[in-house]
Amino acid sequence: MGLDALLNRMQGRESVTPVTPCYPAGVTAKPAPDKACTLVTPVTPQIINSEPANETPSQQEQADLARLVARVCRAYDCHDAEISQAIETALADYCDALTCYTDLAKQAGMTLNDDRRMCFECAELSGSYCMAARRGEIKGADRRYEPMPYQPKRCDKFNAR
């Protein structure tokens, strides 16, 4: 199932596009004053009201959203190119996308506490190649190792971008 089909199915909307993926009715384009859009994760365990409502999401928040989008898309068998596009679209509209993809993750029965990372988040990924493997640092891996960028994993050589 492609990303568009996934989002159409989940929301029952025909007008869903990759640019306006799946925002439920009643969700505004702006963050709620109480920052209710903040994803609850082990890193951000509760809603914090001490910051201005329209603050730009931090790098960590953006990384968390990108990982969430990738996981949701993977759960629905989206292709790598679709996942990449979905991440880009989501980061351009952080708050609504966070609401949307958190909903989708819950509907799919996914846990939000998955601490595995993906190669697309790793500074060692250059093009499609793993530079750590190229240096021979990943035991058992070919030096031309091309990891799946959106496959959750635990890797000793993970190096956050």
**70 lies in the binding site for ligand SF4 (CB under 6 A):** no
Radius of gyration of the chain (CA): 17
**69 lies in the binding site for ligand SF4 (CB under 6 A):** no
Task: Give the tokens for residue 60.
Answer: 């960590």
Minimum CB distance to ligand SF4 smaller for 87 or for 95: 87
Minimum CB distance to ligand SF4 smaller for 96 or for 124: 124
Vertex 59: Cα angle to 128 and 156 (nearest 5): 50
- Quick note: the x/- pattern for ligand SF4 over 120-149, rule CB under 6 A, is --x-xx----x-xx-------------x--
**94 lies in the binding site for ligand SF4 (CB under 6 A):** no
**87 lies in the binding site for ligand SF4 (CB under 6 A):** no
Residue 125 φ then ψ, to 5°: -80, 120
Residue 30 Cα to chain centre, angstroms: 20
At residue 65, what is the residue type?
L
Minimum CB distance to ligand SF4 smaller for 35 or for 157: 157
Which class for 93: exposed (0-12), middle (13-18), buried (19 or more C-beta within 10 A)?
middle
The residue count for binding ligand SF4 (CB under 6 A) is: 11
**3 lies in the binding site for ligand SF4 (CB under 6 A):** no
Produce one character per residue of 99-117: b if its CB has 16 or more CB atoms within 10 Å, e if not. Answer: bbbbbbbeeeebeeeeeeb
Minimum CB distance to ligand SF4 smaller for 12 or for 127: 127
Residue 100 Cα to chain centre, angstroms: 11
Minimum CB distance to ligand SF4 smaller for 106 or for 153: 153
Q: Which residues bind ligand SF4 (CB under 6 A)?
A: 119, 122, 124-125, 130, 132-133, 147, 155, 157-158
